[in-house]
Amino acid sequence: MVRSPSCVGALRERAGESLLHRVAGPEAHRKRARIHGTPGPRWFGPDRPVRTVHGDASMYIGGLAALLLQSLHPTAMAAVAAHSGFQGDPWGRLQRTSTFLAVTTFGTSQDAEDAVARVREVHDRIRGTTSEGVPYHASDPHLLCWVHIAETECFLRAYQRYGRAPLDPAGEDGYVADMAEVARRLGAERPPGTRAGLKARLAEYRSELRATPESRAAARYLLSEPPLPSLARLPYAFLAAAAVDLLPAWARTALDPPAATRLLRPLARPGGHAITAALRWVITAT
């Protein structure tokens, strides 16, 4: 049976709306109108690399890779496990994160400043002790920098592999510098401003990183137990394999991904390209 163009269009629109609401929440259209439509100065102009990267469908792969990599800092992972609600309310956490990225990247300077202030207020309240007795505070500049460089690295790597048009070296440096602007406002310690600086900062943290029961549990949940309808499970499996494939070899070994993800790794790159192409097709319908 050949589907009519109107039927395909309707399916595309429904898929786009479903994806938008999962990622941005029930008020997705209102949020998008405010972020993009409110007049006023922005932190980043339309030609800045951060807008190119964060406006691309490769962010879905980069975002999952970032969560996996961030989990390998035991102190940061303990704070996430205790306070973020990533298992109890995974879509809520995703919506809050995606809204913050959208506002700081595309929104007015005032809205971006307000978003940073809200996050800093939340971080000030989050503190505790890991299972090994190590105290933590979410506003710790060292931990904030780890979260920042892990997501910067993964977003950039995902875009360079799956984005519409990979950045040149100057564009890569520009993206890292743009991200550093936000990180400094959040209170991160010495966020790097170049691609080489990002690589060096990641190396500085290497001795602090290792898998824990919490990080492996998070990886299993994110890779093989996502709260998705059955029809979305197969595409998500390829997205998950592409995210794992972005990670450094030592990180993949440490996290010990589920067998299904390991089996799909040989298809991670073609699968990742197919998923990002499908996401772009769906997103343009909303």
The conformation of residue 208, written as its DSSP 8-state character, comes to G
Region 231-250: mean pLDDT is 94
**Nearest-angstrom CA–CA distance, 83 and 235:** 29
Q: What is the DSSP track for 44-91?
A: S-TTSHHHHHHTSTTHHHHHHHHHHHHTTSHHHHHHHHHHT-TTTSHH
Tens digit of pLDDT for each residue in 15-68? 656 666 666 567 778 888 999 999 999 999 999 999 999 999 999 999 999 999
Name the residue among 178, 177, 188, 179 with its Cα closest to residue 144: 188
pLDDT of 132 > 50? The answer is yes
Residue 146's contacts (CB-CB under 8 Å, 6 or more residues apart) are 70, 73, 76, 205, 208
pTM, two decimal places: 0.91
- How far is the C-alpha of 241 from the C-alpha of 36, rounded, in Å? 32
Indicate the pLDDT class of residue 93, thresholds 50, 70 and 90: confident
